Amino acid sequence: MADSHDRAFDRMAPGDEAPPDTPGAGEDVCPRCSGSGEVDDEACPDCEGTGRVIRGIGGA
C-alpha cells in the first residue's frame, strides 16, 4: 500500500519542483508555455496543460 508521500509525488507534473501543499512551495506560471497550457498546439509537457507548476518560494 502506498503511503501519503508516494501519493503526493504521484500528483506532481513533470515541471513541478514539489508536490502540491508542500510548505514553502506554491503555484507559479509555467515557464515553458507562459501559462497558456499549450506548446505547439498540444498540452504542455511540463505543466500537463494546466499552465501552472509548483515551485519553491521564499527561502532562508
pTM of the predicted model, to two decimals? 0.74
The answer to whether the beta carbons of residues 20 and 54 sit under 8 Å apart is yes
The answer to whether the beta carbons of residues 15 and 46 sit under 8 Å apart is yes
Residue 3 falls within a domain, yes or no?
no
In order of 2, 13, 17, 37, 59, the CA distances from 7 in angstroms are: 7, 13, 15, 24, 25
Residue 39 falls within a domain, yes or no?
yes
Residue 14 falls within a domain, yes or no?
yes
Domain count along the chain: 1
Torsion of CA 47, 33, 18, 50, to 10 degrees: -40
The tens place of each residue's pLDDT in the chain, 60 residues long, gives: 455 555 656 679 999 998 888 889 999 999 999 999 999 999 999 999 999 999 998 765
How confident is the model at residue 21, as a pLDDT? 85
Residue 44 falls within a domain, yes or no?
yes
Residue 5 falls within a domain, yes or no?
no
**Which amino acid is residue 24, in one-letter code?**
G
Residue 36 falls within a domain, yes or no?
yes
**Domain of 36, in residue numbers:** 10-55
Residue 60 falls within a domain, yes or no?
no
